[in-house]
Amino acid sequence: VISGSGEAVTPSMYLSDMDVTEFSYARQLDPNFVDDGKLQFLSEFGESWGFIASDKAVVFLDNHDTQRGEAQLTYKNGDLYQLANVFMLAHPYGYPKVMSSYYFSSHDQGPPSVSVHNGNTLECGSGKPWVCE
């Protein structure tokens, strides 16, 4: 459920039954890594920023949709993206979800024709079609 103004369905409608993806997480986190490293503002990052309760939140930096548009941080940001993932995994808010992706150069490019698990070989990393995240 994507939260936003004008949406007919809101995350709060589901909180009594299940965990909900907190789309605001990346939108609020990314600028603190991208804009001159304003990490000092993240000590209270989470519910005090207006997010849903930590025990109900599924958080991520990017997903299959945002990676090709609105996400400020993706695998293309290299070390900065890795650092933001480390923060997400270590910071005590929500249930983190790490993106697994493939390299792409155009918005509508489809996935590689080879599986990420190719026999005893992983097809991810530098020079391979899949991103190791």
Per-residue pLDDT tens over the stretch 2-30: 666 677 777 677 677 778 888 889 999 99
Distance CA 88, CA 105 (A): 26
Main-chain phi, psi angles of 130, to 5 degrees: -105, 150
Closest CA to 51 of 16, 17, 70, 24: 24
Task: For the chain, give every domain's residue range.
Answer: 1-99, 102-133
pLDDT in tens, 55-77: 999 999 998 888 888 788 999 99
Closest CA to 63 of 34, 110, 97: 97
* Residues, the chain: 133
